[in-house]
């Protein structure tokens, strides 16, 4: 008995690992060697490549391809039709599989619809990438980035609310009441 749900149109290759209570929807393809944690939701027309690692509670919306070299930690959200890359200078006529660059999406990060993440970068914990953004550099924990190329436009809480810091560098999430401190262009949760 399977410990996860897969729609009848999903293709699940032998040799992948899928955690308990995960759901894989219409026309998804999970390739051999992929590792999917518990309680994940893989949307319609999603491809998870060989040697991709997804943590627990990862949500991937429709029409996303997660290519080899991508690692998503727990609680990551990937918006509809967002794009990962894995080679910095692809050419159809040159084999560059040995040049795949790792992209790390850290715990709790959100990548908005139609955003593009250029390979080889780290998206920090609880960072939020705006819809349509093109990320060409590392993104700090709790950063809010938007645009093409993506630029930091603020900070967000673990709940995804915009943080407004006082003169002492302290902000309170309006939804959760959690407190954050900004110091030297870094934010950390303090309560």
Question: Tens digits of per-residue pLDDT, 147-166?
Answer: 999 999 999 999 999 999 99
Which percentage of the chain shows pLDDT scores above 70?
Answer: 99
Kindly report the backbone phi and psi dihedral angles of residue 41, in degrees, each rounded to the nearest multiple of 5, phi listed first: -125, 120
Question: Which pLDDT tens digit goes with each residue over 91-114?
Answer: 999 999 899 999 999 999 999 999
Write the CB contacts of 94 (distance below 8 Å, at least 6 apart in sequence).
none
Share of the chain above pLDDT 90, in %: 97
Q: Which band of pLDDT confidence, cut at 50, 70 and 90, is reported for residue 1? A: low
Tell me which DSSP letter residue 91 carries: B
Indicate the fold that domain 5-158 takes in CATH.
UDP N-Acetylglucosamine Acyltransferase; domain 1 (2.160.10)
pLDDT in tens, 105-140: 999 999 999 999 999 999 999 999 999 999 999 999
| Residue-range domain boundaries for the chain | 5-158
- Per DSSP, 161 falls in state P
Band (2; pLDDT cuts 50, 70, 90): confident
């Amino acid at each position: 008995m399977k410990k996860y749900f897969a729609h009848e149109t999903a293709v699940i290759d032998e040799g992948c690992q899928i955690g308990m209570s995960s759901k894989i929807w219409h026309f998804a393809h999970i390739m051999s060697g992929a590792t999917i944690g518990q309680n994940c939701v893989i949307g319609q027309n999603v491809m998870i490549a060989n040697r991709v690692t997804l943590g627990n509670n990862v949500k991937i919306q429709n029409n996303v391809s997660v290519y080899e070299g991508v690692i998503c930690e727990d609680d990551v959200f990937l918006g509809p039709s967002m794009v990962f890359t894995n080679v910095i200078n692809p050419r159809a006529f040159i084999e560059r599989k040995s040049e795949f660059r790792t992209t790390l999406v850290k715990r709790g990060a959100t990548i908005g619809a139609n955003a593009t993440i250029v390979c080889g970068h780290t998206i920090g914990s609880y960072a939020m990438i705006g819809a349509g953004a093109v990320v060409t550099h590392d993104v700090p924990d709790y950063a809010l980035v938007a645009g093409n190329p993506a630029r930091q436009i603020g900070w967000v809480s673990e709940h995804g609310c915009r943080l407004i810091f006082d003169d002492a560098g302290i902000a309170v999430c309006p939804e959760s009441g959690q407190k954050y401190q900004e110091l030297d262009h870094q934010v950390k949760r303090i309560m």
